[in-house]
Amino acid sequence: MASFAQGAKMLRVTPVHLKEREELEPLLVDNSDVIERGLKVITHQLMTDSGPLDILAVDFNGALVVIELKNCPVDEHLDQGLRYYDWCRQNISGISMAYSDKFQIDPNLPLRLMLIAPSFTDLVRRIAKYIDCKLHLVEYQAFEVGRRRGHDLHRN
């Protein structure tokens, strides 16, 4: 917790734990530009053979982006993300056609995998170095200032 003065008022900055599906996911779905400029959410909670994919998006170039969210560091984060990535890779033509009326998806561009969490386990960081796909580890911090909530994302 930190405090700072703003004018004559003292504001308190407090770290906040976000609920994954109820708070983090809607925040990112509604504000996808905070993840990456030009990123557009295609859908979220898309059912796959491995369960619901958190967020499926397309970047400014037309590449499909698979986004897996966690609200705490877990070793299974990368494994789960790779299963969704693989499903999307196998179904990229169908995905491109299904959403072609709203999004410009180029099925010839390599898919990207983005993992978003407050931090990552040592195991995830070690294994991520050997993954042969466009993988981005994005850390976020959620905080409360007074009664307002905020967030910050940064890539590793």
Is position 107 within any domain? yes
Is position 4 within any domain? no
Q: What is the SS3 assignment for 146?
A: coil
Phi, psi values for residue 2, rounded to 5°? -135, 160
pLDDT at residue 149 tops 80: no
Instruction: Name the percent of the chain lying above pLDDT 90.
Output: 62
Is position 12 within any domain? no
pLDDT at residue 33 tops 50: yes
Is position 5 within any domain? no
Is position 1 within any domain? no
Q: Average of pLDDT values for 107-113?
A: 96
Q: How confident is the model at residue 5 (pLDDT cuts 50, 70, 90)?
A: very low
Say which CATH number the domain at 59 has. Answer: 3.40.1350.10
Is position 11 within any domain? no
pLDDT at residue 80 tops 80: yes
pLDDT at residue 142 tops 80: no
Number of domains observed in the structure of the chain: 1
Q: Residue 31: its pLDDT value, please? A: 81
| Structural domain boundaries, residue 95 | 18-140+150-155
Q: Cβ distance 42 to 58 under 8 Å?
A: yes
- Whether the full predicted model's pTM is greater than 0.85, yes or no, is no
Q: Residue 10: its pLDDT value, please? A: 59
Is position 45 within any domain? yes
Q: Cβ distance 39 to 65 under 8 Å?
A: yes
pLDDT at residue 6 tops 60: no
